[in-house]
Amino acid sequence: MTIKDIVTAQRTFFQTGATRTVTFRTQQLLKFERALKANEQILFDAIYADLKKSRYDTFTSELSLVYRELSFMMRNMGKWSKKKRMWTNLVNFPARSYVLPEPYGVTYIAGAWNYPYQLTLVPLIDSLAAGNTAVVKPSEVAPQTSAAMAKIINETFAPEYCFAVEGGADAATEILEQKFDYIFFTGGTKIGKIVYEAAAKHLTPVTLELGGKNPAFVLPDCDIATCAKRIVWGKLLNAGQTCVAIDYLLVHSSVEQKLLAEMKSVMERHYPKDAVSENFMAIVNERHVERIQQLIDPKKVYYGGVVDKKNRFIAPTILHNVTFDDDVMKEEIFGPVLAVVRYDDLNSAVKRVKEYPKPLSLYVFGSNNGEKERLFSELSFGGGSQNDAVMYFANDHLPLGGVGSSGMGAYHGVDGFKTFSHYKSIMEKPTWLEFWFLKVPPYSEWKLKILRLLLEKL
Ligand code: NAD
């Protein structure tokens, strides 16, 4: 079957209305949950082959999120699929108003390689929960995980309902030539623009989950001991290949040395310094190792800096005395390298952050409520947190999504369901009352007076 055939078959199947019942959706999600659990070992082996990701990391930062989304959807999608009563304004009296969610139809989900399971499967689960059919393309950059997901998906579902396609740019281009009813893409800003352009040809709505340089402010009153741990953990999770990881720190000069020493001590105690460890992930491929290596200026290395290209290992690294003119500040790092920029004046630090494209995440370490409120309200970013990094991603009550260059739209939990649903606004009117005389000529001043009151104020 060609991709075109698959999309046609899915459209025909969608139009039968089979996916609309909550019973059907529950059965499919249950079947998927069982298939994933039955094939867990294949998933563990594949991600180890691609990224040297341990079972511990794979469960905590991948599969647990997938299973959680499955159970969250199965528990709530019945409630979310119902019509929701809305107010009716007086000019429309008497009427009953509500919004009615409906699935878009045939959706396309393009995953990313850095958290291959959760970034591909969570939006897929959201799409199926909302009653759509789906074509899925895992990222070819992590080929073993792509093959594992394709195998499980294609063995579990009928192709006219959900189908996984493997491949790179060529496959993606062919897929994007088809008309979809919704496209959900996770990846970099450059490819995001290609996807957006392809979607525009069919006026297909999109969610783009993109990246950027995420700043973290460290204020003078920061609790150094705890925050150093959280900064290091958030940076080194997945060897820094995390879209919501801290990219660079803006540290107040009064706490810079103390924080650097503390972060170094945390890295020394818990992470490998100069050789591969089974508890520390590999960089996805040699091209990315070379890219990240070029961002490490040896003169600015405070800690780490070791690169072992053959084993795709980059040691946890801290760069200090970094300025906005350094290469490391010119692109998203997406690796285990933390750039530390010192500031004295918060106003000028804020001004520099505003010169960058809007980031996906922003973090503030410190307790000064005035400064925290200022940073959260004045700067534009997708989401973030105070005194922690990354973990807001795992709160399924919070929508996850970027703004500007870091993307558009959001998902996770109810927002995932909403993303893949169109909400029809409906007003039902009885026929026993009709203010006909107000609608038709002859128009007069007294009629206008009544309408002014009704339309302006009530
Ligand atoms: P990428 O944009 O390079 O690639 C994504 C996918 O695009 C690939 O799997 C590939 O098959 C496809 N592709 C390649 N060429 C294409 C083309 N011409 N047309 C259509 N599709 C094409 O991204 P990446 O390197 O896989 O991921 C890293 C980036 O993703 C980082 O910027 C990161 O911040 C971002 N990211 C964002 C999130 C998020 O949730 N916002 C999550 C993970 C990663």
- The answer to whether the beta carbons of residues 76 and 414 sit under 8 Å apart is yes
- The answer to whether the beta carbons of residues 385 and 372 sit under 8 Å apart is no
Q: Are residues 169 and 290 in the same domain?
A: no
Q: Which of 137, 191, 358 to mutate to test the pocket of ligand 1 (most atoms within 8 A of CB)?
A: 191
Number of domains in the chain: 2
What residue numbers bound the domain in which 100 lies?
3-210+408-422
Q: Are residues 195 and 51 in the same domain?
A: yes
Q: Are residues 293 and 416 in the same domain?
A: no
What's the pLDDT at 293? 98
Which one is catalytic: 62, 160, 243, 332? Answer: 243
Q: Cα torsion for 99, 101, 102, 107, to the nearest 10°?
A: 130
Ligand 1 centroid to residue 172 C-alpha, Å: 11
CATH number at residue 124: 3.40.605.10
What's the pLDDT at 352? 97
What's the pLDDT at 338? 98
Q: Are residues 127 and 247 in the same domain?
A: no
Atom of ligand 1 nearest to the CA of 209: 41
- The answer to whether the beta carbons of residues 132 and 104 sit under 8 Å apart is yes
Task: For ligand 1, say whether the CB of 120 is within 6 Å of any of its atoms.
Answer: no
Q: What is the DSSP string of 383-420?
A: EEEES-SSGGGG-TTS-B---GGGEE--BSTHHHHHHT
Q: Are residues 159 and 255 in the same domain?
A: no
- The answer to whether the beta carbons of residues 10 and 161 sit under 8 Å apart is yes
Q: Are residues 165 and 264 in the same domain?
A: no
Q: Are residues 202 and 268 in the same domain?
A: no
Please confirm, yes or no, whether 243 is among the known catalytic residues. yes
Which one is catalytic: 62, 69, 160, 209? Answer: 209
What's the pLDDT at 275? 82
Ligand 1 centroid to residue 419 C-alpha, Å: 20
Nearest Cα to Cα of residue 362 among 194, 196, 458, 246: 246
Please confirm, yes or no, whether 69 is among the known catalytic residues. no
Q: Is the peptide bond before 94 cis (omega within 30 degrees of 0)?
A: yes
How distant, in Å, are the alpha carbons of 59, 163, 327 from that of 199? Answer: 34, 20, 33
CA distance 418 to 251: 38
In 3-state terms the chain splits into helix, strand, coil percentages (rounded to 5) of: 50, 15, 35
Q: Are residues 258 and 292 in the same domain?
A: yes
CATH number at residue 281: 3.40.309.10
Q: Are residues 49 and 159 in the same domain?
A: yes
Within 8 A by CB and 6+ apart from 234, the residues are 242, 245, 246, 363, 388, 389, 390, 391
Q: Are residues 131 and 276 in the same domain?
A: no
**Residue 185 token pair:** 């893409």
Q: Are residues 396 and 254 in the same domain?
A: yes
pLDDT in tens, the chain (458 residues): 899 999 999 999 999 999 999 999 999 999 999 999 999 999 999 999 999 999 999 999 999 999 999 999 999 999 999 999 999 998 999 999 999 999 999 999 999 999 999 999 999 999 999 999 999 999 999 999 999 999 999 999 999 999 999 999 999 999 999 999 999 999 999 999 999 999 999 999 999 999 999 999 999 999 999 999 999 999 999 999 999 999 999 999 999 999 999 999 999 999 999 888 888 999 999 999 999 999 999 999 999 999 999 999 999 999 999 999 999 999 999 999 999 999 999 999 999 999 999 999 999 999 999 999 999 999 999 999 999 999 999 998 999 999 999 999 999 999 999 999 999 999 999 999 999 999 999 999 999 999 998 888 87
pTM, two decimals, is 0.95
Q: Do the strands 337-343 and 307-308 form a parallel or antiparallel pair, or are they unpaired? A: unpaired
